[in-house]
């Protein structure tokens, strides 16, 4: 049964694409953050190991919320790595093993990219007259901006 919540099929499909693209980006960022958690070394190992763990835990919750928002709109949530890698706007860097500072720089760039993309995606939610999705995406913007700020602050000397 399709939802009868006042959104047209066209609007639900458009928002489903937005959410599935975000879901793909969130998975790429999750895997990258988890990789950095496992492989960070250096004098700030203990601190960064904990920071990266908190970040991937937050992303895991965000991933679930994005998928559930898609399902609430009556859209299937993508669920395979192959689909995520095809859709993702964030990119992996296989075979690279950066130092701790480069890890922070890379995650900062990804969270800022994610926040910029979310701002564009907010336009789709507003265009399709979906205040619930717009509110959800606004919360995600805030979360990624906060993470970016914390990463930026960690990088400052």
Instruction: Output b/e per residue, 52-91; b: 16+ Cβ within 10 A.
Output: beebbebbeebbebbbebbeebbbebbeeeeebeebbebe
Short-list 71, 54, 67, CA closest to 26: 67
Long-range Cβ contact pairs of 92-100 (< 8 A, separation 24 or more): 92/28, 92/31, 92/32, 97/39, 98/36, 99/41, 99/42, 100/40, 100/41, 100/42, 100/44, 100/45, 100/48
How would you write the pLDDT of the chain (157 residues) with one tens digit per residue? 787 788 899 999 999 999 999 999 999 999 999 999 999 999 999 999 999 999 999 999 999 999 999 999 999 999 999 999 999 999 988 888 999 999 999 999 999 999 999 999 999 999 999 999 999 999 999 999 999 999 999 999 6
Task: Enumerate the domain spans of the chain.
Answer: 9-155
92 within 8 A of 28, measured Cβ to Cβ: yes
CA 6 to chain centre: 27
Res 4: pLDDT = 78
Instruction: Pick 9-155's CATH classification: 1.20.1260.10, 3.60.20.10, 3.40.470.10, 3.40.630.30.
Output: 1.20.1260.10
């Amino acid at each position: 049964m399709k939802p009868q919540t006042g959104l047209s099929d066209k609007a639900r499909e458009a928002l489903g694409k937005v959410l599935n693209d975000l879901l793909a980006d969130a998975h790429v960022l999750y895997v990258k953050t988890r990789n950095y958690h496992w492989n960070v070394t250096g004098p700030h190992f203990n601190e960064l190991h904990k920071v990266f763990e908190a970040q991937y835990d937050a992303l895991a919750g965000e991933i679930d919320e994005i998928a559930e928002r898609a399902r609430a709109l009556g859209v299937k949530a993508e669920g395979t790595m192959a689909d995520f890698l095809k859709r993702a706007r964030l990119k992996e860097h296989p075979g690279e093993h950066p130092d701790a500072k480069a890890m922070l720089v890379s995650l900062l760039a990804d969270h800022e990219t994610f926040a910029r993309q979310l701002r564009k995606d907010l336009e789709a939610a507003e265009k399709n007259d979906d205040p619930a999705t717009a509110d959800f995406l606004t919360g995600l913007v805030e979360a990624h901006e906060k993470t970016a700020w914390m990463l930026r602050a960690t990088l400052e000397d």
